[in-house]
Structure 1
Amino acid sequence: MAQRGSSRRDSVVCSLEEKNKQKERAESDRSKQKSEKGKEKTSDQYHYETDFDQFITEIKQLFHQFDEKIDKRFDRLDSKFTKVFEDLKKEMNQIKVEVSDTKNEMKDIKHKVTELEQSVGFQAGKYEELEDKQDDKIRKLHEHLDEMKRKLLLLEKHDRKNNLLFYGFPEEQNEDLKATLKTFFKDKLEINDEKVQKIDFTNCHRLPYDGAGPKPIIARFVYFEDRELIYSKALMPIFKNERKRVLTDLPTELKKTRAKLAKEAYTIRRSERLKTRILEKGLSVYLEVRRTKEDSWERRELYD
């Protein structure tokens, strides 16, 4: 920067010196002309040349002072810019260090996250495997419980196979239910007296009942053959118009199903004019319908 100021100063000075030389040559020419004419340089011309030299000297001093000021200002600016640049350089280096540290931390975090994901995935896989095993155990347990329930129902049904339920028999004080049933066998089911007298019961009593009419009678026959004889006679046409009913004794769950089917059968007989019957097979209770005796029985499925 000092060199740039010095160059400008030298250029101005050279220009002024050149002009001065031109003026001197012109004055010299004029002096020569005057000398030729016999005239000499006057005192005023001398003073003019002396003042001009002094003016040039002052101009040079002013330019020199101006150059010094410019150089000082450029030096101060250069110092400031140098300091700012150094500060920026330090800050950039610090930022680079921080960025590098951040990258390392991010790599470490990413590595930990990957390990965590792998661990979670492994644990999730183990959990799903255990859950599948648990679900399989629960399913098998439900199947086992269902099988146990089915077997218990079969046992209960088997235990009740010698029982019959009699509905519609009026209640009397000090009644003899065994005698009442035998009279019914003889008079309504048309079984001969000799056979009726051979029929024997293990137990015979009335059951609690929430419906309308007298409480039903449950009778347990000593022999299954006697029970089958009575039930088959009760299904014959000669007994259809009686208000009394004879039903098999079933476990509670199957009784509810039969009661529901009985209501549906009543609706079908009235609305569709079809004949109905309710059958039992194993643990199944189902409804069949037909229109005439010549038609085959068809199973009627019920939907809730």
Structure 2
Amino acid sequence: MKELLDQQKLYYKDLLDRQEQNFRSFVQISTDSTNQRMDNLVREMQDLKSSLQFSQDELKDLKADKDSNLKKIKQLEQDIASRNDDVSTGLTEKLDYIENQSRRNNLIFDGIKEEKGETWEQAEMKVKDVIKKKLHINPVHIEIERAHRNGKPGERPRPIVAKFLRYKDKQTILGKAKMLKGTSIYVNEDFSDRVRRKRKELQPALRAARERGQLAYIRFDK
């Protein structure tokens, strides 16, 4: 009986040892598998982190490039606008110069009575009459290319723009225009709108200088 019990003890002990060994093997395998998965997960996380960092660096570079390009575009736009302004200003000045050159031989006679339906020929005769009777210049020696009223008809007589054939004739008449003082007639040079505006702006300074007893006059737009 004792021998049988000893055999059973040995049997169960051996069985327990094998189960323990199997359990240890299972635990070891599970642990190794878990560790392997954890290692893989850590590597994947590191790879993902590296990829994310690379993407962030790329985004920073792209943003820096974008900001740099925007600055360049803005500078180019400013340069183009500045050049356009320069071209526009230069073109305006050239056109203004050409316009004033075309008016170089012109004089404006203001205050001459206007007849209804007055023709260019009649306007020219009235200018010649002023030249002869008011300025005491022989109109035979003065050639007028054309003379016409300027502006829309109204209550007041419109000014007559007279274009003389020779510049010196225009200057001769302008030099004697002071003889019209005390009459209703005025003679002035013909300028572009820009020059007229500039001369108008200079009038207060001109009057102030003359009130101080200074010899002052406006020459063209200065």
Q: TM class, shorter-chain normalised?
A: 0.5 to 0.7
| Counterpart pick for 1:240 among 170, 181, 191 | 181
Q: CA 1:298 to 1:223, structure 2 compared with 1: closer, same or farther past 3 Å?
A: closer
Residue 155 in 1 paired to residue 75 in 2?
no
The corresponding residue for 2:9 is: none
Q: Give yes or no for contact 1:289–1:298 (8 Å, CA) kept in 2.
A: no
Q: Secondary structure at the match of 2:114?
A: coil
> SS at the partner of 1:247?
strand
The one of 134, 137, 151 aligned to 1:188: 134
Post-superposition CA distance 1:161-187 (Å, at most 9, x none): 011111111112456222211221122
For 2:197 and 2:214, the matched residues in 1 are separated by: 29
Provide the residue aligned with 1:115 in structure 2.
Answer: 58
1:172-214 CA deviation, whole Å, 9 max, x = no partner? 245622221122112222x24xx32211111111111477611
2:83 aligned to 122, 137, 140, which one?
140
Aligned residue identity for 1:253: R
Quickly say closer, same or farther: Cα 1:153–1:95, change in 2 above 3 A.
same
* Counterpart check, 1:250 vs 2:191: yes
Cross-structure match for 1:297? 216
Residue 213 of structure 1 aligns with which residue? 156
Provide the secondary structure at the position in 2 that maps to 1:290: helix
Q: Which of these two proteins has the greater Rg computed from alpha carbons?
A: 1
- 2:113 match: secondary structure: coil
223-232 vs 179-188, greater mean Cα deviation: 179-188
**For the residues of structure 1 that align with 2:164 and 2:109, how far apart are their CA atoms?**
13
Aligned-pair identity in percent equals 21
Distance 1:145 1:188 in 2: 45
Q: What CA distance in whole angstroms lies between the structure 2 residues aligned with 1:107 and 1:212?
A: 89
Greater length-normalized contact order (CA 8 Å, ≥ 6 residues apart): 2
Note if 1:166 corresponds to 2:109: yes
- List, as ranges, runs of 4+ consecutive aligned residues in structure 1 with deviation greater than 6 Å: 93-100
Q: Secondary structure at the match of 1:289?
A: helix
How far apart, in 1, do the equivalents of 2:50 and 2:155 lie? 84
* Residue aligned with 1:170, SS: coil
- Cα separation, 2, equivalents of 1:133 and 1:140: 10
Q: Quick one: distance in 1 between partners of 2:165 and 2:217?
A: 35
* CA distance in structure 2 between the aligned counterparts of 1:146 and 1:290, rounded to whole angstroms: 33
When residues 204 and 224 of structure 1 are mapped into structure 2, their CA distance, relative to the original with a 3 A threshold, is same
CA 1:298–1:247: 2 relative to 1, 3 Å: closer
Cα deviation, residue 103, structure 1: 5.3
Separation in 1, partners of 2:189, 2:216: 21
Is the CA contact 1:164–1:219 (under 8 Å) kept in the aligned structure 2? Answer: yes
TM-score, length basis structure 2: 0.67
Segments of structure 1 that go 5 or more residues without pairing to the other structure are 1-89, 269-273, 277-287, 300-304
In 2, distance between residues paired with 1:164 and 1:217?
8
Q: In the alignment, does 2:143 pair up with 1:197?
A: no
Alignment deviations for residues 143-170 of structure 1 (CA, whole Å, 9 cap, x no partner): 1221111111101100110111111111
SS state at 1:220 partner: strand
Give the 3-state SS of the residue equivalent to 2:79 in structure 1: helix
Could you state the TM-score of these two structures normalised by the residue count of structure 1? 0.51
Distance in 2 separating the partners of 1:295 and 1:135: 46
Partner amino acid for 1:129?
K
Please, which of 112, 118, 129 is the counterpart of residue 72 of structure 2?
129
Counterpart of 1:261 in structure 2 is 201
Summarize the Cα distance change of 1:256–1:296 in structure 2 as closer, same or farther, 3 Å threshold.
Answer: closer
What is the RMSD computed on CA atoms of the aligned residues? 3.5
Contact 1:167 1:246 survives alignment (8 Å): yes
